[in-house]
């Protein structure tokens, strides 16, 4: 998130299906390539145009089990690097959900979201209230709320920032 | 610790947990998290801060984790003795970038005083953790690798975490967890010859799957668990994460195989004797069918290895089919022993010679081609049948390739025929008692 502490985000949706894996988000074969190379391949197997066309402020909307697969933190980090401000999925794979918060990218499980949102439609999400607003605002969906300890991590902007304040004795 | 708080609410209701009194019997996962967080009792859905007993990092993430600690100014680890580093993924370094990354990790782990460091060639992290006794029954373990669920084979609650969380755990010794609900899998009977633990776990992918196991702990119980070797339990616990499970637990050696009174969100019973060999089809691990349903499909590459099925028992299983025979023309077979101990013992038993004489390439211990980093990537349009745990699009190279998952016996039978084959139809009668089980 651009401003640590922000809890409301609005942006253009990129729609994805079910079971988007960490191998699609961050393919293993580019693991030691420079960042700009790795970013070019984000979600390539699912939507080859995504990496080139995604804009800062966009929101990823997906079906169930988003982020399944490995524990690589580059999966949410790469989305964040590309400017994605939030991930909304019918459900999130467990490690991805943890890692997204850890890198400061709000990720919410919001059952039904992938059926309710059209590609490139405007969506808004309030991560504290657990509320997703679709299009003109007539459709509001309930998302699972982010538990307090994780909101605290998000407010710091991720675990690295939290550790920095810990190292500086500020906690 | 899942982000969602009530997405599994209906299952909680099914478990009928409301108003549980003090000190009621706990599931295996609850027992570990209660002990590690110093609580007498924990309930699913509750958040706990738990003391971590063991922390594992491999070469892909060790430098990131320790580099973050250095960058933010954390001078010392909370307890370096709890940390283990294993170099297993990009080994031996296939590029200058990987070599630099590993050199940086070596510098940092010396800097932070991590003594338990296993160099390239020692083996796959999860196998090494168990062989080296870095995990004990009842431990709470985290690793920068999703297959840290493998430790459940010993009765330890293991799960994967990302680099930032690992940095936090190393700095503080703690991490917070959401207590998961538990799905109970009761195992009865015994596996038939040529049907293996891999077939059971693929069957569980099909029957239980992420729809039921996501965010939950899977607990294996029943008399059938006692018939499974440590290697077999590791195969099953390893793939718990493929169901989305946080932990995949077996009773510790010698412990009772059931926990009377503990409350489960769902229960499944599996008759081991009724299982047939299973194959996962592209591009998802839950896309599982009986091997007969895909028998005859042409395969370009067979991979025997990984933390799921690269152990001695697995190599024996495959060698018992391939010994004295030659793999089919047009198919290539890659064998990657899970560790240096496996490698050496397989050499002593003549298994590596059996496999090599049949036409396989034997690679050094490590992850090999499992994660698509090197040592056996696939071209568009190619098909691989492997004994590993994931068949996602792009996992082993080109997104245009197809990956099928099966047991070591199915892999060996497939290499022999050059097409997916039911190991019960191609195998000689089982001639050695050593064959896995
Ligand atoms: S063998 Fe494969 S699944 Fe296991 S740790 Fe290595 S890359 Fe991961």
- Does any domain span residue B378? yes
CB B170 within 8 A of CB B78: yes
Question: How many Cβ pairs within 8 Å bridge chains A and B?
Answer: 160
Distance between CA atoms of residues A125 and A113, nearest Å:
11
The model's pLDDT over B239-272, given as tens digits with 9 standing for 90+, comes to 999 998 999 999 999 899 999 999 999 999 999 9
Range of the domain at B332: 278-436
B145 touches chain A (CB under 8 A): yes
What's the rounded mean pLDDT across residues B336-349? 98
pLDDT category at B11 given cuts 50, 70, 90 is: very low
pLDDT category at B12 given cuts 50, 70, 90 is: very low
Give the total number of structural domains in chain B: 1
Q: Name every chain B residue with its beta carbon within 8 A of the beta carbon of A28.
A: 371-373, 394-395
Q: Tell me the whole-structure pTM to 2 decimals.
A: 0.89
Residues forming a β-bridge with B140: B157
pLDDT category at B22 given cuts 50, 70, 90 is: low
Q: Name every chain B residue with its beta carbon within 8 A of the beta carbon of A164.
A: 72-73
Closest residue on chain B to A23 (Cα): B395
Among the listed residues B90, B108, B86, the one whose alpha carbon sits nearest the alpha carbon of residue B99: B90
* CA-based R_g, chain A, Å: 15
Q: Is the ipTM of this complex over 0.90?
A: no
pLDDT < 70: residue spans in chain A: 1-4, 170-171
pLDDT at B21: 47
Q: What is the DSSP string of B338-355?
A: SBHHHHHHHHHTTHHHHH
Instruction: Assign B402 to helix, strand or coil.
Output: strand
Extended strands (E) in B46-100: 47-51, 54-58, 83-86
CB contact under 8 A, A158 and B164: yes
Distance between CA atoms of residues B139 and B153, nearest Å:
12
Q: How far is CA B180 from the centre of its chain?
A: 19
Closest residue on chain A to B7 (Cα): A144
- Does any domain span residue B402? yes
- Does any domain span residue B190? no
CB contact under 8 A, B392 and A24: yes
Residue B413: is the preceding peptide bond cis (ω within 30°)? no
User: What is the CATH code for A8-167?
Assistant: 3.20.19.10
Tell whether ligand 1 has an atom less than 6 A from the beta carbon of residue B238.
no
Q: What is the DSSP string of B291-303?
A: GGGTTT-B-SEEE
Q: What is the DSSP string of B120-142?
A: TTSB-HHHHHHHTT---TT-EEE
- Does any domain span residue B71? no
User: For the domain that residue B347 is a member of, what is the CATH number?
Assistant: 3.30.499.10
Map out the domains of chain A as residue ranges: 8-167
CB B133 within 8 A of CB B154: no
Q: Give the DSSP H/E element, type plus range, for residue B145.
A: none
What's the rounded mean pLDDT across residues B126-145? 98
Burial of A115 (0-12, 13-18, 19+ CB in 10 A): exposed
The model's pLDDT over B378-431, given as tens digits with 9 standing for 90+, comes to 999 999 999 999 999 889 999 999 999 999 999 999 999 999 999 999 866 444
Tell whether ligand 1 has an atom less than 6 A from the beta carbon of residue B37.
no
Distance between CA atoms of residues B252 and B423, nearest Å:
31
Instruction: Assign A9 to helix, strand or coil.
Output: strand
Q: Name every chain A residue with its beta carbon within 8 A of the beta carbon of B60.
A: 31, 72
Extended strands (E) in B116-261: 116-118, 140-143, 157-160, 174-178, 182-188, 217-221, 247-249
- Does any domain span residue B266? no
Tell whether ligand 1 has an atom less than 6 A from the beta carbon of residue B108.
no
pLDDT score of B279 more than 90? yes
pLDDT at B16: 34
The model's pLDDT over B49-68, given as tens digits with 9 standing for 90+, comes to 999 999 999 999 999 999 99
CB B124 within 8 A of CB B310: yes
The model's pLDDT over A83-125, given as tens digits with 9 standing for 90+, comes to 999 999 999 998 899 999 999 999 999 999 999 999 999 999 9
A67 touches chain B (CB under 8 A): no
Tell whether ligand 1 has an atom less than 6 A from the beta carbon of residue B306.
yes
Instruction: Assign B4 to helix, strand or coil.
Output: coil
- Does any domain span residue B374? yes
């Amino acid at each position: 998130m651009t401003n640590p502490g922000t809890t409301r985000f609005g942006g253009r949706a990129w729609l994805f299906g079910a079971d988007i894996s960490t191998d699609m988000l961050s393919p293993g074969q580019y693991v030691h390539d420079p960042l700009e190379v790795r970013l070019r391949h984000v979600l390539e197997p699912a939507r080859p145009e995504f990496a080139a066309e995604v804009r800062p402020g966009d929101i990823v909307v997906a079906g169930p089990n988003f982020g399944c697969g490995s524990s690589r933190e580059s999966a949410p980090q790469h989305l964040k690097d590309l400017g994605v401000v939030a991930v909304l999925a019918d459900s999130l794979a467990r490690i991805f959900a943890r890692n997204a918060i850890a890198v400061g990218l709000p990720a919410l499980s919001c059952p039904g979201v992938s059926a309710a949102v059209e590609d490139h439609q405007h969506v808004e999400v309030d991560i504290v209230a657990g509320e997703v607003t679709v299009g003109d605002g007539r459709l509001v969906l309930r998302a699972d709320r982010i538990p307090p300890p994780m909101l605290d991590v998000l407010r710091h902007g991720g675990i690295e920032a939290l550790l920095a304040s810990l190292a500086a004795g500020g906690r | 610790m899942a982000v969602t708080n009530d997405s599994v609410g209906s299952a909680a209701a099914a478990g009928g947990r409301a108003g549980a009194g003090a000190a009621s019997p706990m599931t295996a996962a609850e027992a570990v998290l209660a002990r590690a967080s110093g609580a007498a009792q924990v309930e699913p859905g509750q958040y706990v801060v738990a003391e971590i007993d063991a922390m594992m990092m491999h070469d892909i993430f060790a430098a990131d984790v320790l580099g973050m600690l250095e960058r933010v100014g954390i001078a010392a680890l909370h307890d370096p003795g709890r940390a283990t580093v294993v170099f297993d993924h990009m080994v031996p370094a296939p590029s200058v970038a990987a070599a630099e990354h590993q050199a940086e990790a070596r510098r940092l782990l010396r800097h932070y005083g991590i003594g338990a460091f296993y160099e390239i060639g020692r083996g796959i992290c999860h196998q090494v953790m168990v062989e080296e006794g870095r995990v004990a029954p009842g431990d709470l373990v985290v690793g920068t690798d999703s297959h840290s669920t493998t430790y459940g084979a010993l009765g330890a609650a293991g799960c994967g975490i990302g680099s930032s969380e690992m940095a936090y755990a190393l700095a503080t010794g703690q991490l917070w967890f959401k207590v998961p609900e538990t799905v109970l899998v009761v195992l009865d009977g015994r596996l038939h010859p040529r049907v293996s633990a891999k077939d059971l776990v693929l069957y569980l992918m099909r029957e239980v799957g992420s729809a039921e196991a996501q965010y939950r702990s899977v607990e294996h119980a029943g008399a059938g668990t006692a018939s499974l070797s440590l290697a077999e339990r590791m195969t099953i616990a390893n793939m718990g994460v493929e169901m989305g499970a946080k932990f995949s637990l077996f009773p510790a050696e010698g412990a009772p195989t059931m926990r009377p009174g503990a409350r489960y969100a769902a229960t499944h019973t599996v008759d081991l004797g009724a299982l047939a060999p299973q194959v996962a089809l592209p591009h998802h691990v839950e896309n599982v069918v009986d091997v007969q349903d895909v028998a005859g499909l042409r395969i370009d590459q067979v991979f025997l290895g990984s933390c799921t099925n690269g152990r001695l028992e697995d190599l024996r299983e495959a060698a018992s089919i391939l010994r004295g025979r030659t793999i089919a023309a047009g198919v290539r077979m890659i064998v990657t022993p899970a560790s240096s101990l496996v490698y050496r013992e397989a050499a002593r038993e003549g298994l590596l010679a059996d496999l090599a004489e049949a036409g396989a390439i034997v690679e050094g211990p490590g992850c090999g081609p499992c994660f698509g980093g090197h040592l056996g990537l696939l071209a568009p349009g190619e098909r691989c049948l492997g004994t590993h745990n994931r068949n996602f699009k792009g996992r082993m190279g080109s997104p245009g390739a197809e990956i099928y998952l099966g047991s070591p016996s199915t892999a060996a039978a497939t290499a022999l025929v050059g097409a997916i084959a039911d190991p019960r139809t191609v195998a000689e009668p089982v001639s050695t008692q050593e064959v896995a089980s």
